[in-house]
Amino acid sequence: MKRQLINYETLLKVTRAISHSKDPEEVALITVESIKSALGAKGCALFLINRKTNELELAASFGLSEEYISKGPVSAMRSIAQSLEEGPVAIYDVMDDPRIQYPEEAKKEGIASILSAPIVVGGHLIGAMRVYTAEHWEFTLEDVNFVQAIAQIAGMAINMARHTKGLKSSIDVLKTMREVQAKRTTRRTPYEGVPVSVASPAAG
């Protein structure tokens, strides 16, 4: 019951953020921080697909080091590609699964398990939400459904931002988010671009 209550509160928090903010960066940051906190995970990240390069580009993260999020290009074809094609995928052991593109970097970061959920809007795949745990984690159906629901909400927010700002694609939204973030460096933590007001001491 406690987990269900936390998940419900998180859904309310994210939907309120979307309804009160037209800033996709703020919504994305609140989304990844909320998922991390609700599940008690090590970290969470939201990626958008760049169709020109076929790579997953980071839109927002919480709880992950700069070294890890800058480890290299994340290929949509190699990095847990199944989750983009067939739905959510849970990786129990990152060191013993061929679907992980950077297993050594994940081990160094202290990541044991990963849950990856696709972000689909209007029948089109636009990205992925990923949850990282420090201990081996057997994700429950409730965990999967919760992350998938939040991923869809985030996707709708990104899509709304795209239409509101007259942007062509989710990558245009991502570029806009980066430009806004660059202008707000004084309000961000050194390595994640997370608002200081929501940054957790345990996030690293």
Q: What is the CATH number of the domain that holds 80?
A: 3.30.450.40
The span from the CA of 171 to the CA of 52, in Å, is 10
Would residue 193 count as lying in a domain? no
Would residue 200 count as lying in a domain? no
- pTM of this prediction? 0.78
In this structure, the dihedral spanned by the alpha carbons of residues 4, 8, 14 and 18, taken in order and rounded to 10 degrees, is: 150
Would residue 192 count as lying in a domain? no
Q: In what order do the strands lie in the sheet with 55-62?
A: 74-75, 55-62, 43-50, 124-133, 113-121, 89-91
Would residue 196 count as lying in a domain? no
Would residue 203 count as lying in a domain? no
Q: Which domain holds residue 134?
A: 2-187
Tokens, residue 104: 């050594």
Regarding predicted confidence, which is higher, 119 or 204? 119
pLDDT digits (tens, 9 = 90+) for 59-104: 889 999 999 988 888 887 677 776 777 789 999 999 999 889 999 9
The span from the CA of 89 to the CA of 127, in Å, is 14
pLDDT at 199 over 60: no
Would residue 194 count as lying in a domain? no
pLDDT digits (tens, 9 = 90+) for 149-195: 888 888 888 877 776 766 666 777 777 776 666 555 444 433 343 33
Name the burial class of residue 105, with classes exposed (0-12), middle (13-18) and buried (19+) by CB atoms within 10 angstroms of its CB: middle
- Say what the pLDDT of residue 21 is: 65
Would residue 195 count as lying in a domain? no
| Domains contained in the chain, number | 1
CB 42 within 8 A of CB 110: yes
Regarding predicted confidence, which is higher, 144 or 16? 144
Would residue 204 count as lying in a domain? no
- Say what the pLDDT of residue 184 is: 52
